[in-house]
Amino acid sequence: MTEAVSPANRNARFAGHAFTLAVLAAWALWGAMVESYEMPGPWAVGKRLVAFFGDWYELRHMFISFAHIIGAVVISFVIGCLCAFLAFYLPRTRLMMHGRATPFLNSFPGIGWIMLAIIWFGVNDFTVVFVISMVLIPFAIINMREGLDSLDTELIEMSRSFTRSRWRTFTMVVVPSLFPFIFATLRVSFGVAWKVALTAELFGGNTGFGYLLNLARNDFDMPLIFGIILIIIAFVFSTDRYVFAPIQRRLDRHHDGA
């Protein structure tokens, strides 16, 4: 049995689709009025995307960028969690972590990490992952700190009355209580990582989308530049809508029910 769509939702969808069509029409009109190296039209970008997906040399840069993102998100999440847990379970380190290290990392500019990483490690994949990770680490620390500070202390004390194992309390009570914050950390990190990755690959990498964008800029290959931008937008939007959003709804239902 299909679910009925309310008039408000139907109108919202119509407005959204109409806006998309209007943007495409404006893009096509602008592309027809100027030179292709200034603004390629949708058709030229579409043809370039077909060529992109048929060229393994160019396509591999896409997978390398994905690897940079995934690696940096995992590394920053693990380090951020360890730092947050350290400050939580060893209170004497709280000022050091949340009052000194986190504000420093959070205020340090990404371009500064790029310059330092190039000097320290050279132009390579490690530099790119290092830069992205350093930018993401404070996001992980702050989100996990909020989660740890919001833990139900009475629930933790009650769990300790059933077992003397701190590890069981941690894995069966603390970690499940942190699921919304863990998910929020990964979701935010994934979105921010793409904004940092292109800059890091542009200046400090010799592979990835950022490197490919630099080559396209030097060759005045504007259709490829727009094509890469569209790929990133489509990938981030699809991941957020079809992966993160369903998980978010399930977490919300679970914790609301709890």
Digit-coded pLDDT (tens) for 191-230: 899 889 999 998 888 899 999 999 998 888 999 999 999 9
Position 79 in a domain: yes
Lookup result for tokens 């702050």:
142
Q: Distances in Å between the alpha carbon of 54 and those of 5, 45, 57, 60, 71?
A: 40, 14, 9, 11, 26
Q: Is the pLDDT of residue 163 over 90?
A: no
Return the pLDDT at 92: 92
Percent of the chain with pLDDT over 90: 47
Digit-coded pLDDT (tens) for 11-43: 778 887 888 889 889 888 888 888 877 888 889
- What CATH code is carried by the domain that includes residue 157? 1.10.3720.10
Label residue 50 by pLDDT band (50, 70, 90): very high
Q: What is the pTM of this model?
A: 0.84
Give the domain extent around 252. 51-257
Q: Is the pLDDT of residue 188 over 50?
A: yes
Mean pLDDT of the chain: 87
Position 27 in a domain: no
Domain count, the chain: 1
Question: Which one is predicted more confidently, 140 or 35?
Answer: 140
Position 228 in a domain: yes
Label residue 5 by pLDDT band (50, 70, 90): low
Position 29 in a domain: no
Position 172 in a domain: yes
Asked whether the beta carbons of 174 and 151 are under 8 A apart, the reply is yes
* Closest by Cα among 141, 18, 161 to 84: 141
Position 6 in a domain: no
Position 25 in a domain: no
Position 176 in a domain: yes
Return the pLDDT at 1: 43
Burial (Cβ within 10 Å: 0-12, 13-18, ≥19) of residue 10:
exposed
Q: Is the pLDDT of residue 257 over 80?
A: no
Across 109-117, average pLDDT: 93
Across 131-154, average pLDDT: 91
